[in-house]
Amino acid sequence: MALRNIILSDNEIIRKKSKAVSQFDAPLWQLLDDMYDTMVQNNGCGIAAVQVGVLKRVVIVEANGLKLELINPEIIAKKGKQVGMEGCLSVKNTNGKVERPYEITVKAFDRYGNAMTLTVCDFTAVAVCHELDHLDGILFIDKIVE
Ligand code: CO
């Protein structure tokens, strides 16, 4: 188990756009394992690589008993709307309501480079949208509706 430091929102790295992963190799698996340990240690339900200072399009979400590792993820379909409370490991002591799609279909790769397409809804969709925003330097505080 290896913990990495969480990058906070006052660090300019958090606003940078992450780059696509091209190598599905041991350093990527180490990054994923470290991100997961760091997320769990900090009681998070999602984490993006940029949050540990790595500008790669890699996210982990764990919600409703489902652990997702998404590499180079892309939302290819959205349905409905929901507004829910969000927080972020990189934004201390702040929560706010954000509008997200109710259901999304995501195309991504797993840690071995296998392509997958999955549809998630409800809180899992919120968590995936939140983490995908991180890959483009967007924080939930940019989208708070109340
Ligand atoms: Co976040």
Q: At residue 146, does pLDDT exceed 80?
A: no
Question: Average model confidence (pLDDT) for the chain?
Answer: 97
Which residues are 39's β-sheet partners?
none
CA of 59 to the centre of ligand 1 (A): 10
pTM, rounded to two decimals: 0.97
* 10 backbone dihedrals φ, ψ, rounded to 5°: -85, 0
Neighbours of 96 (CB within 10 A): 15
CA of 41 to the centre of ligand 1 (A): 15
CA of 102 to the centre of ligand 1 (A): 18
99 carries an active-site annotation: no
CA of 47 to the centre of ligand 1 (A): 6
* 120 backbone dihedrals φ, ψ, rounded to 5°: -130, 155
CA of 90 to the centre of ligand 1 (A): 6
* 28 backbone dihedrals φ, ψ, rounded to 5°: -65, -45
If pLDDT is split at 50, 70 and 90, which confidence band does 54 have? very high
What's residue 94's pLDDT? 95
Side-chain half-sphere exposure of 25, counting CA atoms within 13 A: 3
Among candidate residues 62, 69, 86, 131, the one labeled active-site is 131
pLDDT in tens, 69-79: 999 999 999 99
Where in 1-146 does DSSP place strands (E)?
Answer: 46-48, 58-63, 66-79, 82-88, 91-100, 103-109, 115-121
What's residue 10's pLDDT? 96
